[in-house]
Amino acid sequence: MRIYGIVLAAGQGKRMKSKLYKVLHPVCGKPMVGHVVDLLDRLACEKRIVVVGHGAEKVKAYLGDRTDYALQEQQLGTGHAVLQAKDLLASEEGLTFVLYGDTPLIREESLREMIRLVEQESAAGAVLTAEMDVPFGYGRILRDGEGNLAGIVEEKDCTPEQAAIREINTGIYCFDNRKLFAALAQVTNENAQREYYLTDVIAILRGAGEALLAYKTPDWTEAIGVNDRVALSEAEAVMKQRINRMHMLNGVSIQDPASTYIEADVVIGSDTRLLPGTVLRGATVIGEDCVIGPNADITDSRVENGATVKHSVLLEAEVGPEAAVGPFAYLRPGAKLGEKVKVGDFVEIKNATLGAGSKVSHLSYVGDAIVGKNVNMGCGSITVNYDGFNKHKTEIGDDAFVGSNVNLVAPVTIGKGAFVVAGSTITRDVEEDALAVARERQVNKPGYAAKLRSRLKNRKKEEDE
Ligand code: UD1
Ligand code: CA
């Protein structure tokens, strides 16, 4: 059967009280509408149409050419919104899912089960329902004497008896495509909100003698519709748990799931251990056998097998196999650490490549640099890469030794195997295997300290008198 998908995302989301359009609010790092469109991708839909209105340009900019769009200029209700997809879809034959852009927790299994049931029963469609202890704000499911789906009534239109029903409409439906558009033509706005409700399609189709199914999900959390920030935080909590669980089932150890935050698209290899306070964001990829945390904040970065990252912040960085980062390191965009590189405490690396086995163990800044293999950058050594106008490059050859507290004033090149003496300020290139000293020679004056002390003491005495 051909599958189509319509996602409603035209509402403003007034109840969010936000400058950001509702469906663009992220849940586990991904805008809600992104989660919903991902799901349609997994169902291999023939066509996906997102109905946009409020913030149309922003929603389109985010989703790009992943989907087609229909514009709903005035938000006259969910039924009216679906109708905007008519020109793009009405002539197709198949099963059309209608999903709301503010229900990010829908599970693929439920959609597949709906397809299976519709096929098995030759029904005109199905609605995903859920049993909720607090059904507040949702449409209620009406069933007839035989328990069949009879209709959906919006909360604002409920009689007190209907309001007591705890089975709710998740806002996740599939319909025979042609029957859907035929029924939509008959929807009116005679209700409390003067809106054209998609939910009225159920009673209309049933009135025409069509069979419609209500499939009750075993997991009510997937029904959470995010209308305000309270629901947003609930959705975040559910999604976080699902993501953590998925990684644990894939062989990742998470010592304290409560304090571990993994965004939706992060990839983690097996036998990696995540320690408390780990936050993994964006397109981050972590290899196998890594130890991440405690307290690691890693965004859009790649960490290879066997590496460790503790108490550190990484942004658009690459950490090679078995490299060790932290505690208290900051890897900024373009930091690329080779195999077994060590970056220790209070070290910042930006736009710099460090070859295999190199060490920057303490208190350093390495920016705009290419550092070879097995280089030792001593404590406090830094690249002086910025003159207030331009950034300049530092190159350090393999096996070079840069002593403590060395300033490498870029542009500058340190040759392979060179040795830069501690405390030097290097302004000229150092050739291969050379020793560079660039500091004042030391002078010792015997007995001078005692003399100086007594002079200072006498002066103080005179002043005090
Ligand atoms: C809707 C359902 C309700 C269900 C609940 C589940 C209707 C009439 N009601 O109520 O039965 O229990 O979702 O979460 O469908 N939208 C448009 N254009 C419009 C109106 C809405 O695109 O003109 C979009 C919104 O952006 C949103 C979605 O449709 O993503 C749902 O709209 P919303 O106003 O949140 O509906 P609910 O009141 O939550
Ligand atoms: Ca809603």
Domain boundaries, the chain: 3-223, 229-436
How far is ligand 2, taken at its centre, from the CA of residue 11, in Å?
9
For the structural domain made of 229-436, what CATH number should be given?
Answer: 2.160.10.10
Closest ligand 1 atom to Cα of 103: 14
* Burial bucket for residue 397 (CB in 10 Å: 0-12, 13-18, 19+): buried
Residue 187 CB less than 6 A away from ligand 1: no
* Alpha helices by DSSP H, 90-199: 108-121, 160-163, 177-184
Whether the CB of 277 sits within 6 Å of ligand 1: no
- Cβ–Cβ under 8 Å, residues 397 and 378: no
Q: Any idea what DSSP says for residue 55?
A: B
pLDDT along the chain (465 residues), means of 10: 96 93 97 97 95 97 97 96 97 97 97 98 97 94 94 95 97 97 96 95 95 96 96 98 98 98 98 98 98 98 98 98 98 98 98 98 98 98 97 98 98 98 98 97 96 96 93
Mutate which of 16, 59, 78, 128 for ligand 1? The one with the most ligand atoms within 8 Å of its CB, which is 78
Q: Which ligand is nearest to the CA of 49?
A: 1
Q: Residue-wise over 339-356: b if at least 16 C-beta within 10 A, else e?
A: bbbbbbebbbbbbbbbbb
- Any idea which ligand is nearest the CA of 76? 1
Containing H/E element for 259?
Answer: none
Q: Which residues pair with 53 in a beta bridge?
A: 55
Q: How far apart are CA 60 and CA 297, in angstroms?
A: 30
CATH class of 3-223: alpha beta
**Best mutation site among 27, 50, 63, 100 for ligand 1, i.e. most ligand atoms within 8 A of its Cβ?**
100
Exposure on the CB side of residue 121, measured as CA atoms within 13 A: 19
The dihedral through the CA atoms of 220, 226, 227, 230 has a sign that is positive
| CA separation, residue 421 to residues 357, 425, 430 (Å) | 21, 9, 12
Distance 75 CA to ligand 2 centre (A): 13
pLDDT score, position 12: 86
On the 0-12 / 13-18 / 19+ scale of CB atoms within 10 A, 221 is middle
Residue in 80, 247, 311, 362 annotated catalytic? 362
Residue indicated by tokens 């090149």: 413
b/e code 81-110 from CB counts within 10 Å (16+ = b): bbbbbeeebbeeebbbbbbbbbbbbbbeeb
pLDDT of residue 173: 97
Same fold, 3-223 and 229-436: no
Could you tell me if the CB of 154 is within 6 A of ligand 1?
Answer: yes
The reply to whether 362 belongs to the active site is yes
Residue nearest (by alpha carbon) to ligand 1 atom 1: 171
Helix H or strand E encompassing 269: none
pLDDT of residue 145: 93
User: 420 C-alpha vs ligand 1 centroid, how far in Å?
Assistant: 67
The ligand whose atoms approach the alpha carbon of 9 most closely is 1
The finding on whether 149 has its CB within 6 A of some atom of ligand 1 is: no
Residue 360 structure tokens: 């920057």
Angle at 357 between CA 353 and CA 363, to 5 degrees: 70
Q: How far is the CA of 176 from the centre of ligand 1 (A)?
A: 20
